[in-house]
C-alpha cells in the first residue's frame, strides 16, 4: 500500500488533482479542507471490496481490510500525530516516528505542486533523519 500511496501522492495529488491537495499546503482555520476529499475517494475501494466479497472471496476481503487498516494508520499518523487535528501526540517517540514527522514537514516546506519531496506516508528514508529544518520554513503550515 505504501508504494501506491507514494505514487498517488506524487503523481495525482501533486499532479492533476493539485486543486484538491493545494488546500493541505496552505494555512487555514477550517476543520476540513478540500484535501479531505481524498479520504472519501480512497475509502470507496475498501467499502466495495468488503461489501461484495465478505464470506465469498477471502483474498478480496483481505484486500479491503488492508486498505481500511492503511487508511486508519494514515489518519492516526498524518492527521492526529503530525498535523494535530486531534490534540494528541505520543510522549515517547521512536527515531522512526521522529523521522516520519520530519519527512512530512520537509514535504510541506514546498508550497507548490512542483519540487516537493518525501511523498511517503508511513515510510521515510533515513536521509531525512539528519536534515535540518529552519522553523521559518514552516511558517503558515497547517500543522
Q: Which pLDDT tens digit goes with each residue over 34-78?
A: 999 999 999 999 999 999 999 999 999 999 999 999 999 989 998
Q: What is the pLDDT of residue 96?
A: 87
Nine cell digits for residue 97? 516516528
d(CA 60, CA 68) in angstroms, rounded, equals 12
> What's CA 115's distance to the chain center, in Å?
18
pLDDT at position 33, please? 93
Cβ atoms < 10 Å from Cβ of 21 = 19
Dump pLDDT digits (tens) for 70-116. Answer: 999 989 998 998 888 888 888 888 888 888 888 998 998 888 899 99
Instruction: State how far the Cα of 143 lies from the Cα of 141, in Å rounded to an integer.
Output: 6
Q: Is 75 exposed, middle or buried (0-12, 13-18, 19+ CB in 10 A)?
A: middle
| First CA to last CA distance, the chain | 25
Instruction: Quote the CA–CA distance of 73 and 71 in Å, as a whole number.
Output: 6
- What distance in Å separates the CA atoms of residue 143 and residue 9, rounded to the nearest whole number? 18
Statement: the pTM of the whole predicted model exceeds 0.85: no
3-state secondary structure of 35: helix
3-state secondary structure of 124: coil
Give the separation between CA 50 and CA 55, rounded to whole angstroms: 9
The mean pLDDT value of the chain amounts to 88
Q: What is the pLDDT of residue 128?
A: 84
Amino acid at each position: 500500500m505504501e508504494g501506491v500511496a507514494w505514487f498517488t501522492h506524487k503523481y495525482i495529488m501533486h499532479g492533476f488533482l493539485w486543486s484538491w491537495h493545494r488546500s493541505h499546503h496552505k494555512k487555514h482555520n477550517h476543520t476540513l479542507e478540500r484535501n479531505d476529499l481524498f479520504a472519501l475517494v480512497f475509502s470507496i475501494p475498501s467499502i466495495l471490496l468488503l461489501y461484495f466479497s465478505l464470506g465469498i472471496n477471502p483474498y478480496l476481503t483481505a484486500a479491503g481490510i488492508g486498505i481500511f487498516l492503511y487508511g486508519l494508520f494514515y489518519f492516526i499518523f498524518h492527521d492526529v500525530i503530525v498535523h494535530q487535528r486531534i490534540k494528541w501526540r505520543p510522549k515517547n517517540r521512536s527515531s522512526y516516528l521522529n523521522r516520519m514527522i520530519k519527512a512530512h514537514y520537509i514535504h510541506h516546506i514546498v508550497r507548490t505542486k512542483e519540487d516537493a519531496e518525501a511523498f511517503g506516508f508511513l515510510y521515510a528514508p533515513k536521509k531525512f533523519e539528519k536534515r535540518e529544518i529552519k522553523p521559518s520554513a514552516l511558517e503558515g503550515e497547517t500543522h
